[in-house]
Chains A and B, each alone.
Chain A
Amino acid sequence: MEDLLTILVRGVAQGSVYALLAAGFVVIYRATDVVNFAQPALMVLGAYFTALFVRTYEIPFPLAILGSILVVGMIGAACERIALRPMVGEPPFSAAMVTVGVFLVLTIVANRLIGSNVLTVGDPWGLDTAVLAGGVRMRVADGWRIALTAGAFAGVGLFLARSRVGLAMRATSLDQEVALAQGVNVGRMFGLSWAMAGGLAGLAGMMVGSGGQGVDNTTAFVALKALPVIILGGLDSLKGAYIGGLVIGVAEAFTRANSAALTGYVGANVDVVVPYVIMILVLMVRPYGLFGTPEVQRV
């Protein structure tokens, strides 16, 4: 039982990172109808800047997180302005391919910055472990992952639901032309949504690099697991991103914990495939994910 809970907590923590990345996808998709394949690269940049601020400039860790969120947010907004703004009105697939190009460029920039070593972000938690009530062991970093993700989701949700700018963003995602007619600066909303997604990716990058894990050249590809998460939850649902992230994270953690028993049937490292299998199974039943809005189709 204790083991089960330990695995569960670890899965929820890992899922929180996925959920945070997925939230970036959802924010951009809702505003611009584009799936931003560059999100993983922004995440790696987030880890890099956190490490840079903490280790080179010796800024306190919480401030460094804020700094890296700001910097990556600005990089996101810059990408939108340079590469994505000309794509307004083009088919979504073309715009998605532009983000693939941005991903390739940013990944190389990030790899050049990080170098060939594993980069740890310099978090104060390291490999510390806390024992909770009931004998459940939990890494301190995992606790922060769960808490910060819940906080970030609450923040983004409140911002979209309550603030004036959030209202303008929701109006933009509902109908760009109508929003424009009501006096919303649609272009600025696009930039803002990319900045928000960049900030979320920056936070996620810090989390991926924390807890003694570190970031290297291959981390960006690991982050592609946020894609099954958003499909599972539905491309345009923040709630879906959170629940989808936790489902995928927990499923992955349990598969990994039982990998020895499973190897005989489905081979080693099956936890890598599990998110995609879940995604395909869900798509067969619900083509728009669990919480996604079915598209209204007209001739």
Chain B
Amino acid sequence: MTERRTSPIGNRRAVTLRGRPELYTDYATDQAMLNTPAKRAWTALLVVGLLAAPFFLGRDLTSLLTTVFIFGIGAIGLNLVTGYAGQVSLGHAFFVGLGAYTAAFVGNEPTGSLRGLGLELWVWLPLAGLVPAVVGFLVAPIAARVRGLYLAILTLGLVFIGDHVFKEARTFTGGPGVGRRAAAPIVGGLDLSRRQEFFGVTFEGADLFYLLCFVLLLVAAVLARNLARSKAGRAFAAVRDRDIAAEVMGVPLTRTKVLAFTISSFYAGVCGGLLAITYGVIEPASFDLLLSVDFLAMILIGGVATISGSLAGAAFVVLLPRLVQTYAHYVPGISRGSTGDGLLTVFQFEGLLFGALIVAFIVLEPRGLYGLWLRVRNYWKAWPFSY
């Protein structure tokens, strides 16, 4: 604090006002999350816009955006372990599923043969994160032994084993074909998925859940960003870039990998607990390999090792099916129905597009949507000069 006061250029704020926004005179400003006025303005605009959005959007779009936020939390989690720490995980869907079932077990009353504890959201949501985190913590030492593609396939095994466990633990999960109802988001007796009245203003259930997910996403994003610029985050990056070199420099390899897996699993679990609510009824088949691939696609399309990229990727992957369904009739040869007479059905076209986009992004712009944004930003930064 004293250093800042005795800084030769004087007050930090005054320097900014003098029109040199990128002149940093101390480490705190340089390391700040929103280190330029443009970032602060855009973030504020986005936050305010998204807070207001549910009151203007239809119920349908509100729940779609809610799904984006929930997947965003999961994508940030995967980006921490895969993007920042470089440990490719195809097992994310397993942790998401574990979180979903933990939430359903803790949050639901026991019914029939199904067990449950019937607790409220402020209990089941942290537990939905903690249980996968503990499992991740236990699995990670094995995963830390293997590297690269061996690790990817090891974690793929986790999805299949998890799928089996979910199918067989019928008293917790309801088993295949039956499924289990998701836990209700109840806080202090208020059900956030039903219409409620606060201070004379009526909120729709979908809006309340939207706001809950948005706030959770903000917290998750800020915490992850903070982690990424801390000592642990730098250790992650060192392990990703060259694990042997990192070890030589004194980064504890196993501990760093275990930490990355544990935190990532926590995020995945929270994502699962919330995702279950949007699904309504959860089945073991919901958490298969394709969900893992979806998450990987989110961080690859959005941008590896960036938080904003994870969010952009989540938005892209969740909104893509809707966009395709809305605009498919402009593409010739696409039939609307599921068995139609066209060249392809909408669902096949969507899958085709999804696969092609993964390939296109990795080949053409490996930094993903974040990289595209950087290009746009740098163009306007240097405008009217083109270099």
A residues adjacent to B (C-beta < 8 A): 35, 83, 86-87, 90, 92-94, 96-98, 100-105, 107-109, 111-112, 116, 221, 224, 227-228, 230-231, 235, 266-270, 272-273, 276-277, 279-280, 283-284, 287-289, 295, 297-299
The answer to whether A105 touches B167, judged by C-beta atoms less than 8 angstroms apart, is no
Q: What are 24 A-B contacts defined by CB distance under 8 Å?
A: A86-B363, A87-B363, A90-B362, A92-B148, A93-B152, A96-B149, A97-B358, A98-B358, A98-B359, A104-B352, A104-B354, A104-B358, A108-B351, A108-B355, A112-B344, A224-B156, A267-B164, A272-B160, A279-B153, A280-B157, A283-B150, A287-B150, A299-B245, A299-B248
Q: Which B residues touch A92, using CB under 8 A?
A: 148-149
How many angstroms between the C-alpha atoms of A100 and B289 in the bound complex? Answer: 11
Q: Which B residues touch A295, using CB under 8 A?
A: 147
Q: Between A and B, how many residue pairs show CB distances below 8 Å?
A: 124
Q: Which B residues touch A269, using CB under 8 A?
A: 164, 167
CB distance from A88 to the nearest CB of B (A): 11
How many angstroms between the C-alpha atoms of A298 and B245 in the bound complex? Answer: 8
B residues adjacent to A (C-beta < 8 A): 88, 142, 145-150, 152-154, 156-157, 160-161, 164, 167-168, 242, 244-245, 248, 289, 293, 296, 300, 339, 344, 348, 351-352, 354-359, 362-363, 366
Q: Which B residues touch A289, using CB under 8 A?
A: 150
Instruction: Identify B242's interface contact among A100, A103, A230, A299, CB under 8 A.
Output: A299
The answer to whether A104 touches B300, judged by C-beta atoms less than 8 angstroms apart, is no
The answer to whether A101 touches B153, judged by C-beta atoms less than 8 angstroms apart, is no
Q: Which B residues touch A231, using CB under 8 A?
A: 150, 153-154
How many angstroms between the C-alpha atoms of A270 and B344 in the bound complex? Answer: 36
Q: Which B residues touch A100, using CB under 8 A?
A: 293, 296, 355, 358
The answer to whether A270 touches B150, judged by C-beta atoms less than 8 angstroms apart, is no
Q: Which A residues touch B142, using CB under 8 A?
A: 280, 283-284
Q: Which B residues touch A298, using CB under 8 A?
A: 244
How many angstroms between the C-alpha atoms of A87 and B150 in the bound complex? Answer: 20
How many angstroms between the C-alpha atoms of A1 and B356 in the bound complex? Answer: 52
Q: Which A residues touch B352, using CB under 8 A?
A: 104-105, 108-109
Q: Which A residues touch B244, using CB under 8 A?
A: 297-299
How many angstroms between the C-alpha atoms of A109 and B349 in the bound complex? Answer: 10
Q: Which A residues touch B154, using CB under 8 A?
A: 231, 279-280, 283
Chain B, residue nearest A109 (CB): B352
Q: Which B residues touch A104, using CB under 8 A?
A: 293, 351-352, 354-355, 358
Give the secondary structure class of A's interface.
helix
Take A35-B153, A108-B352, A277-B161 as given contacts and tell me if A101 and B362 are in contact as well, using a CB distance cutoff of 8 Å: yes
The answer to whether B289 touches A221, judged by C-beta atoms less than 8 angstroms apart, is yes
Q: Which A residues touch B161, using CB under 8 A?
A: 273, 276-277, 280
Chain A, residue nearest B142 (CB): A284
Chain B, residue nearest A268 (CB): B168
Chain B, residue nearest A115 (CB): B339
A-B residue pairs, 5 tightest by C-beta? A104-B355, A267-B168, A276-B157, A101-B358, A101-B359
How many angstroms between the C-alpha atoms of A190 and B300 in the bound complex? Answer: 25
CB distance from A141 to the nearest CB of B (A): 27
How many angstroms between the C-alpha atoms of A235 and B357 in the bound complex? Answer: 28
Chain B, residue nearest A225 (CB): B160
Q: Which B residues touch A228, using CB under 8 A?
A: 153, 157
Most A CB contacts (10 A, CB to CB) among B147, B160, B300, B352 go to B160
The answer to whether B348 touches A101, judged by C-beta atoms less than 8 angstroms apart, is no
Chain A, residue nearest B139 (CB): A280
CB distance from B342 to the nearest CB of A (A): 11
How many angstroms between the C-alpha atoms of A104 and B300 in the bound complex? Answer: 15
The answer to whether B149 touches A83, judged by C-beta atoms less than 8 angstroms apart, is no
Instruction: Identify A103's interface contact among B153, B339, B348, B355, CB under 8 A.
Output: B355
How many angstroms between the C-alpha atoms of A280 and B142 in the bound complex? Answer: 9
CB distance from A10 to the nearest CB of B (A): 22
CB distance from B113 to the nearest CB of A (A): 15
The answer to whether B366 touches A90, judged by C-beta atoms less than 8 angstroms apart, is yes
Chain A, residue nearest B299 (CB): A97
CB distance from A296 to the nearest CB of B (A): 11
Instruction: Identify A112's interface contact among B160, B348, B358, B366, CB under 8 A.
Output: B348
Take A224-B289, A266-B168 as given contacts and tell me if A287 and B348 are in contact as well, using a CB distance cutoff of 8 Å: no
Instruction: Identify B164's interface contact among A96, A221, A273, CB under 8 A.
Output: A273
How many angstroms between the C-alpha atoms of A227 and B158 in the bound complex? Answer: 13
Chain A, residue nearest B82 (CB): A93
